[in-house]
A = this chain, B = another copy of it.
Amino acid sequence: MTQAPSARDRVLDAFENILITHGERSATLDAVAAEAGVSKGGLLYHFGSKDALVDGLVERLGELVSADIVNIRTAPAGVVDYFIRSSVNTESPLDRSIIAATRLAQGSHPRAQEALKSMQRSWFDVVSEAVGDPAVARAIMLVSDGLYYNSALLPSALAETSDRATESMDDLVNIIQSLVHSSQPN
Asked, given contacts A146-B146, A153-B105, whether A172 binds B135 with beta carbons under 8 Å apart, the answer is yes
Can you list 5 A-B pairs with a CB-CB distance of less than 8 A? Answer: A23-B107, A26-B108, A135-B171, A153-B153, A179-B179
Name the one of B23, B116, B145, B149 contacting A108, with C-beta atoms under 8 angstroms: B23
Q: Which of A92-151 contact B (CB under 8 A)?
A: 102-103, 105-108, 113, 116-117, 120, 135-136, 138-139, 141-150
Smallest Cβ distance from A106 to chain B, in angstroms?
5
Cross-chain contact A23 with B24 (CB below 8 angstroms)? yes
Cross-chain contact B145 with A107 (CB below 8 angstroms)? no
Name the one of B113, B145, B157 contacting A149, with C-beta atoms under 8 angstroms: B145
- Residue total for A at the interface (Cβ-Cβ under 8 A): 44
Residues of B within 8 A of A143 (CB): 139, 142-143, 146
Please list the residues of chain A having a beta carbon within 8 angstroms of any beta carbon in chain B.
21-26, 102-103, 105-108, 113, 116-117, 120, 135-136, 138-139, 141-150, 153-158, 168, 171-172, 175-176, 178-179, 182
Seed contacts A142-B150, A145-B150; 5 additional CB < 8 Å A-B pairs: A24-B24, A25-B25, A26-B107, A102-B106, A142-B147
Smallest Cβ distance from A2 to chain B, in angstroms?
31
Bound CA span A168–B107, Å? 29
